[in-house]
Amino acid sequence: MMSITKLDMPERKNIVLLAADIWGMCLMTVREILPEKGTVLTVQPLILFQMPNSISLSPKKMQLKKYTVEKTESEWKQQLSSDEYRILRQKGTEYPHTGEFNLHFEQGSYHCKACNAKLFESQNKFESGCGWPSFDQAVEGAIEYIRDTSYGMIRTETVCANCGGHLGHVFNDGPRETTGQRYCINSLSIGFDPS
């Protein structure tokens, strides 16, 4: 099965991204119109990954989901700092290598900053060099996976299954000797409980 999608980038009107979803594999090509050179077509995969079969990719279903912890946006703004709100509720990202838990390797567990649900164990944390806290496995049932097509990419977003707070993304470039997954998580979306 194959589907091709044109991805708009309003901030760069001279670039057209074409994404082809071929049997769960995502390939992207770029067509850039340069005034001095004309149209340049790059025919190479920019992103290539396979979606796990167990992940639901229906954005409409995800938007309608009811979470155990639900609050109004006003209540979230009162509870969270402005940066935490931007990341957890507006799907923001902190700058790489700036987060409190990027190079944090104490024993304990990591929980959702919005609702305190346990998300990750310290034994699953590793140094990936990407600039964000990285884990190769989440606590079972703690994470919800959503197809994310923002910014001209196709990725898998991770949100807290208890409150729907945005955590980061999961990629298939983690340690091969364990799960092969890399949960790339914003420090501002999590807290730490020492064991």
Q: Return the CATH number at 83.
A: 2.170.150.20
Is residue 33 assigned to a domain? Answer: yes
Alpha helix ranges (H) inside the chain? 59-64, 73-79, 82-88
| pLDDT value at residue 195 | 81
Give the model's pLDDT for residue 45: 44
**pLDDT, averaged across the chain:** 80
Structurally, how many domains does the chain consist of? 2
3-state secondary structure 109-163: EEEECCCCCEEEEHHHEECCCCCCCEECCCCCCCEEEEEECHHHCCEEEEEECCC
> In this prediction, what percent of the chain has a pLDDT beyond 70?
67
Whether 80 and 114 have beta carbons less than 8 Å apart is answered as yes
CA distances, 84 to each of 28, 81, 142 (Å): 32, 5, 19
Query: What pLDDT is recorded for position 122?
Result: 97
Residue 47 within any structural domain of the chain: no
Tell me which of 157 and 36 has the higher pLDDT.
157
- The reply to whether 189 and 113 lie within a common domain is yes
Distance, C-alpha 143 to centroid of its chain: 11
What would the pLDDT profile of 40-73 be if each residue is shown by its tens digit? 444 444 444 443 433 334 443 334 578 999 999 9
What is the structure's pLDDT at 147? 95
Residue 53 placed within a domain = no
Q: What is the pLDDT of residue 64?
A: 57
pLDDT of 24 over the 90 cut = no
What are the tokens at 59? 């954005």
Is 26 an annotated catalytic residue? no
Distance separating alpha carbons of residues 58 and 62, to the nearest angstrom:
7
CB 183 within 8 A of CB 192: no
Query: Residue 14's domain spans which residues?
Result: 2-42
- Whether residues 95 and 164 fall in one domain: yes
Are 109 and 172 contacting, i.e. CB atoms less than 8 angstroms apart? no
Q: Which residue has the tokens 């799960």?
A: 179
**Claim to verify: residue 88 and residue 158 sit in the same structural domain:** yes
Question: Could you tell me if 28 and 81 lie in one domain?
Answer: no
Which stretch of 31-35, 88-92, 103-107, 125-129 has the lowest confidence by average pLDDT? 31-35
Measured CA to CA, the distance from residue 179 to residue 188 in angstroms comes to 25
* pLDDT tens figures, 109-157: 999 999 999 999 999 999 999 999 999 999 999 999 999 999 899 999 9
